[in-house]
Copies of this chain bind each other. A is one copy, B any other.
Amino acid sequence: MAKIAPISGFPEHLPAAYLVEQELIEILRHTFMLHGYVGIETRAVEPLLQLLAKGETSKEVYLLNRLQDEGNAPKADNSRLGLHFDLTVPFARYVLENAGHLQFPFKRYQIQKVWRGERPQEGRFREFIQADIDVVGRDVLPAHYEVELPLVMADAFTKMSKLGVPPIKILVNNRKLSQGFYQGLGLTDIDAVLRCIDKLDKIGAEAVIELLGKEAGATPQQAQACIEMASINGNVEALAEAQAVAAKYQADSELFQEGLAQLQQLCVAAQARNPGVVEIDLKIARGLDYYTGSVYETVLVGHEDLGSICSGGRYDKLASDGKVSYPGVGMSVGVSRLVARLLKAGILGMSRPSPAAVLVAVTSEDNRAVSEQVAATLRAKDIPTEVAPTAAKYGKQIQYAEKRGIPFVFFPPDDEVTDSRVKDIRSGTQITTTAQEWEPPADDLWPQLVTNV
């Protein structure tokens, strides 16, 4: 076998960490379903042309080649396949492909791996899990879904916070507000302005002002106005500031007011349904040019350095077959990044790595069937159960359980004792019982998420 070494950017977990990831995914999935979102999964590959249509990310795509095609002339671009780099592009394609079989508005969740052909680099994943929700309408999509999405995510994270995950803040803006303001200022290359503003946190105001001049043709006064607007944040009252800045620069517009009203609607509803979780932040721009309304980013409080762990927004033109368009709104959780941090910071762990709550000891290899029968009885009661690997001395069998975090050992009758017994190997307490009778305390039945590990 070839030399074994991890591959940079392709993280893998040991069993306990995998369980943590699964538990968080289960919370997301359950919350999405509780809000009526339908699950789908798309194939891992898309035609290269479809992947490239989104621009920007073209360099990050992994192309597939069949090994037996090696050496043949490269195939035409329109028949080449690549691994998807997000779940939005495949979802848009899925909607178009299956429109006749879906009910609109179509609310779907999707939790899958995605791949990005990045250069290997510290902290950058090339394979990671995303958990997305999107709602798409046929031709129209009411704005209240732009309110709903961040609140569904907030619901999931509120559940996680009860298990020890730090709270989140969902930062919101509206493209219409930003675009309306920039246009009101007389700027024309809105995408360029958005790209510059997107860098505000990273490079600071002065550098962005310079960049706005260079990349978006902004005068120093226009650039200053952009910075002033983008620096506004807080609760719903921050919108009055935005009004004032727009008035000051005479950059008000219908589009600006539309965005402002939608942002207000979102903040008011969020304040009623999950107070404090949603915050206005007018520098949120999201690089992707397909957003047309609300845009979202999410920080884990105390872990802001991690960047956004759940982002998205409203898009109107991502999916269209020429006749019908499917406007949508979506948010995507970066599950792998979130989990990696929670594990690394010791915030979450599992109560034990093994699913088994009890190990059934084996008195002798000839009597293995007796232990198997005990295990079958316990499993029929939905108690996760292992049978000892060998009829070693009890001390060694107990050690087997200990090493795996299995809390109980069940001893069938043996040469010396005619009753069966269960020992809690953490406390040493032993009781006489039967397989029919015994069950573990509910907290010990399955491995559980634990905090501060």
Q: Which A residues fall within an 8 A CB radius of B?
A: 1-2, 4-7, 10-15, 18-19, 22, 33-45, 47-50, 53, 58-68, 70, 78, 81-83, 92-94, 96-98, 101-103, 105, 107-108, 113, 115, 117, 127, 137, 142, 144, 148, 155, 269, 272-273, 319-321, 353-356, 365, 368-369, 372, 376, 379, 382-387, 389-390, 400, 403-404, 406, 446
27 A-B pairs whose Cβ atoms sit less than 8 Å apart in the complex: A1-B50, A1-B93, A1-B321, A2-B50, A2-B53, A7-B43, A10-B45, A13-B41, A18-B39, A35-B385, A36-B384, A36-B385, A38-B353, A44-B44, A44-B113, A44-B115, A60-B66, A62-B65, A63-B65, A63-B66, A63-B70, A68-B117, A103-B400, A103-B404, A142-B390, A144-B368, A269-B372
A9's nearest neighbour on chain B, judged by CB, is B43
Secondary structure dominating the interface of A? mixed
Establish whether residues A382 and B34, one from each chain, have CB atoms under 8 Å apart when the complex forms: yes
A273 cross-chain contacts in B, Cβ below 8 A: 372, 376
On chain B, the residues within 8 Å of A35 by CB distance are 379, 384-386
Once the chains bind, are B67 and A83 in contact (CB under 8 Å)?
A: no
CB pair B67–A63 under 8 Å, yes or no, is yes
The 7 closest A-B pairs by CB, nearest first: A36-B386, A66-B117, A36-B356, A33-B355, A10-B43, A15-B38, A61-B67
Q: Are A62 and B60 in contact (CB under 8 A)?
A: no
New A-B pairs, 7, CB < 8 Å, besides A44-B113, A66-B117, A68-B117: A1-B53, A7-B81, A12-B40, A59-B68, A62-B66, A137-B389, A142-B389
A127 to B113, CA, bound (A): 14
**For A61, what are the chain B residues with a Cβ–Cβ distance below 8 Å?**
66-67
Q: Which of B1, B64, B390 contacts A64 (CB 8 A)?
A: B64
Task: Report the minimum CB–CB distance from A52 to chain B (whole Å).
Answer: 8
Q: Is A42 touching B4 in the complex (CB atoms < 8 A)?
A: no
CA separation between A83 and B66, bound complex, in Å? 10
Tell whether, in the assembled complex, residue A15 and residue B40 are in contact, meaning their CB atoms are under 8 Å apart: yes
Indicate if the CB atoms of A43 and B12 lie closer than 8 Å: yes
**Among B15, B137, B386, B404, contact of A108 (Cβ-Cβ < 8 Å):** B15
Contact present for A117 and B6 (CB under 8 Å): no
A148 to B320 Cα, complex, angstroms: 53
**Which residues in B have their C-beta under 8 angstroms from that of A40?**
12-15, 18
Smallest CB gap from A19: residue in B: B39
Look across to chain B and name the residue whose beta carbon is closest to the beta carbon of A127.
B43
Nearest-Cβ distance from residue A445 to partner chain B, whole angstroms: 11
B22–A39 contact, CB under 8 A?
Answer: yes
Most B Cβ at <10 Å: residue of A36, A63, A64, A107: A36
Please report the C-alpha to C-alpha distance between residue A425 and residue B410 in the assembled complex, in whole angstroms.
51
A94 to chain B: which residues have CB within 8 Å?
Answer: 12
Q: How far is A49 from B376 in the complex, measured between Cα atoms in Å?
A: 42
Q: Contact check, B53 vs A62: say whether CB atoms are below 8 A apart.
A: no
> A358 — nearest CB in chain B belongs to which residue?
B36
How far is A229 from B96 in the complex, measured between Cα atoms in Å?
A: 55
Name A354's contact: one of B19, B38, B115, B354 (CB within 8 Å). Answer: B38
Q: Say how far A24's CB is from chain B's closest CB, in angstroms.
A: 14
Q: Which of B7, B45, B127 contacts A7 (CB 8 A)?
A: B45
Task: List the B side residues contacting A64 at CB < 8 Å.
Answer: 62-64, 83, 117
Please measure, in the bound complex, the distance between the C-alpha atom of A49 and the C-alpha atom of B111, giving whole angstroms: 30
Quote the shortest CB–CB distance from A149 to chain B (angstroms): 13
Name which residue of chain B comes closest to A269, CB basis. Answer: B369
In the complex formed, the residue of B with least CB distance to A82 is B67
